[in-house]
Amino acid sequence: MNFLNQLSVWLSFQLSIIFLLGIPFTLFLWSIKKRNKAIKKLLSNYWRISILFFISLILLVGEYNFALVFTNISTLLMTISVWFWNDINDELKEYNLSDIFATTIKVWRWSLTFVSFNFLIQSLQNISCLYFINSAECEIWLKPSTNLYLFIKSLFNFFFGANFTQPVAKFLGLFSLLIYFLGLIQWAIIKFPKSGRNSGFSEYGRN
């Protein structure tokens, strides 16, 4: 059962990387080529929200106890962000199934939703890891961040000539988390009351 649990966690991370990062990056480049303002705006907003996912990975590297909580919050916010905007939803409804680009976006949104909830369910099966990631049974959640740790460590040493340690990762993650939530609060208090669920994609990219 432990092997099956490890395999399930590994698959959850692999699916997350593909559907949360790989595919949307490809679609964003595609939207630029197609000059589709609605989808380009959708994905631009998505990438702003997804910063929390990267922060949560840094917190996992730093073995912060509540890192997995923020990973789940990030995936849920990323999923909400692709369904949130009324004007973009209305725009996508107007596209026919023959439009490969728009259909791909629609399929990706549903796939992203499935992956996000699958990640949440997987986390709840190891619920103690949500608040104490450093326990022995939660080691399977830290393994996927090992390669990221080695990559950042190499970059950190190359650019700054210093050693990137887990305490440094924890500090950077928590500091970035503070900045992120301050920005989110500012949007909720100032921008959201004015624009609501209207993304304003028609004005996007206008000088």
Residues with Cβ within 8 Å of residue 104, at least 6 apart in sequence:
27
pLDDT band at 142 (very low <50, low <70, confident <90, very high): confident
- List the domain range (segments joined by +) for residue 30: 2-203
| pLDDT attached to residue 25 | 93
Note if the pTM is more than 0.85: yes
| pLDDT attached to residue 47 | 94
Share above pLDDT 70 across residues of the chain, in percent, rounded to a whole number = 86
pLDDT tens for 59-105 read 988 889 999 999 999 999 999 999 999 999 999 999 888 889 999 99
Strands (E), 42-175: none
Tell me the C-alpha distance between 44 and 24, whole Å. Answer: 10
| pLDDT attached to residue 89 | 94
Count of structural domains, the chain: 1
Q: What is the CA radius of gyration of the chain?
A: 19
pLDDT band at 202 (very low <50, low <70, confident <90, very high): confident
- Higher pLDDT: 1 or 152? It is 152
Residues 168-197 have a mean pLDDT of 92
Q: Which of 199, 192, 177 is nearest to 60 (CA)?
A: 177
